[in-house]
Amino acid sequence: MVVDRNQGQSLGHWALDLKIVDGKSGKVPLFSELLKREAVVGVSALLTMFALSNLWANVGMVVLLLPLAIDCSLAFSDPVFRQAFHDRLARTIVIYTHRGYSLDRKVPQWFAQLRHRMR
């Protein structure tokens, strides 16, 4: 719902100046498409958290990491659009936008200022 109401940006995408758009129209995707996308991501994240929290009790929990690994590996194997499985399923793409906090640019600046002050 946050992505739908916030012009295609979740809190994380807003922090990094990213936006989710429909692959064909370039507009904010329909709520049903966003629901598909977030369901796949949510289930993968839930399985990953469950696996990592119980990894020491049962090494077989490594199998639960596979959905997230498969989802992300598809993004690395797509050199043009970098679409993960959840983006392909929902027919969405992630694009750069000028609307956001630009955290990816500000953090290196903060570290540079910190290093400069420590000298």
Q: What is the pLDDT of residues 12-66, one digit of tens each?
A: 777 888 888 998 998 989 999 999 998 999 999 999 999 999 888 888 888 999 9
So what's the pLDDT on residue 50?
Answer: 92
So what's the pLDDT on residue 100?
Answer: 80
Taking residues 64-79, report their average pLDDT: 90
Mean of pLDDT over the chain: 88
**pTM of the predicted model, to two decimals?**
0.74
- DSSP string covering the chain: -HHHHTTT--HHHHHTTEEEEETTT-SPPPHHHHHHHHHHHHHHHHHHHHHHHSTTT-GGGGGGGHHHHHHHHHHHH-TTT---HHHHHHTEEEEE-S-S--HHHHHHHHHHHHHHHH-
So what's the pLDDT on residue 55?
Answer: 82
